[in-house]
Amino acid sequence: MSNTVEFAKMNGLGNKILVVDMRGRTGKVTPQAAIALNADAETQFDQIMAIHDPKAEGTDAYIDILNSDGTKAQACGNGTRCVVQALAAETGKKAFTFQTVAGILNAVEHEDGTISVDMGRPVFEWNRIPLAEEFHDTSRIELQIGPIDNPVLHSPSAMSMGNPHAIFWVDRDPMSFDLERFGPLLENHPIFPEKANITLAQVISDSALRTRTWERGAGLTLACGSAACASAVSAARTGRTGRRVTIDVASSPIRQPLTINWREDDHVVMTGPAEWEWSGIVDPSTGTWSRDATLGAQAR
């Protein structure tokens, strides 16, 4: 294939990630390529993390993020950990600074292989999340699914972690809810002019949560890092937990919790694993791809 670049199929706690190396290139991964890649069972993904040459002084790379429907994403914490692991393996470096449309992200790989990403500061102002109408207190907004006198889900905490989130508090296992049915309705609710990530969060203790997420532009996901951050911050903000919690991502096949620390300087730091699966080459304009020849796969 001509015009190809290297990519890696990875996951962050089950969150399906394609890391595409666009360094040295002037083009971008197109929405059409993203849609084509997601249509193939072998390359199906939640987010593409396209690594570009740095645009700002003092950064290691610019990261362009695409959802599986071809739309742009502002943030992806699980995907950022995958980028760190890939670049650490390539360069031997342990600390990185990335630029995204949501701002600057600092990240570090630890000796045990886990990776911490500083996801920045949370945003609570209704017009910056954004919401379509004014709420003085976004820790509990008026929104519900189900009968008025007995709603299935209601009164979520709304905030932004570079992308909009709504956290619905539930009193039983998030896997017991039909999020596949409710998710699209809530993601596209008129209260969210830029749509929203929808998370069900169960409080396990004052330092532990269990979550499940319908991801904006990707659908039902095995894991979502920014949603884990939003859940942890919202839990602390509403007095349900302290500022440091572990997140058991209910839908993830990897039984390793994320650790979220909403520090006193207002920065949210997420720590968790990343996993390389296999590598290949791809045409970023069309999505045509093949596995790395050393893995013995045939061109697609």
**Does the pLDDT of residue 255 top 80, yes or no?**
no
List, by residue number, the catalytic residues.
76, 224
Predicted confidence (pLDDT) per residue in 61-71, tens digit: 999 999 999 99
Residue 129, in any domain of the structure: no
Q: State the pLDDT at residue 2.
A: 61
Q: What is the pLDDT averaged over residues 60-87?
A: 94
- Give the total number of structural domains in the chain: 2
Average pLDDT of the chain, as a whole number:
93
Same domain, 195 and 89: no
What's 58's DSSP letter?
T
Residues 176 and 252 in one domain: yes
In this structure, the answer to whether residues 282 and 252 fall within a common structural domain is no
Nearest of 10, 160, 149, 133 to residue 74 by alpha carbon: 160
Pairing assessment for the beta strands 72-73 and 289-291 based on DSSP bridges:
unpaired
Q: Looking at the structure, do residues 77 and 169 belong to the same domain, yes or no? A: no
Provide the domain limits for residue 237: 144-266
Whether residue 282 is found in the same domain as residue 258: no
Give the CATH number of the domain where residue 194 resides.
3.10.310.10
Same domain, 32 and 76: yes
pTM over 0.95: no
- The DSSP bridge pattern shows strands 258-262 and 244-249 to be antiparallel
- Domain membership of residue 160 (yes or no) is yes
Task: Tell which wins on pLDDT, 280 or 217.
Answer: 280
Shared domain for 157 and 180, answered yes or no, is yes
Assigned domain for 138 exists:
no
**pLDDT given for residue 85 in this prediction:** 96
Strand-pair partners of 15: 12
Residues 214 and 281 in one domain: no
pLDDT at 300: 33
Does any domain span residue 300?
no
Q: What is the pLDDT of residues 117-170, one digit of tens each?
A: 999 999 999 999 999 999 999 999 999 998 988 999 999 999 999 999 999 999
Whole-angstrom distance, CA of residue 81 vs CA of residue 57: 22
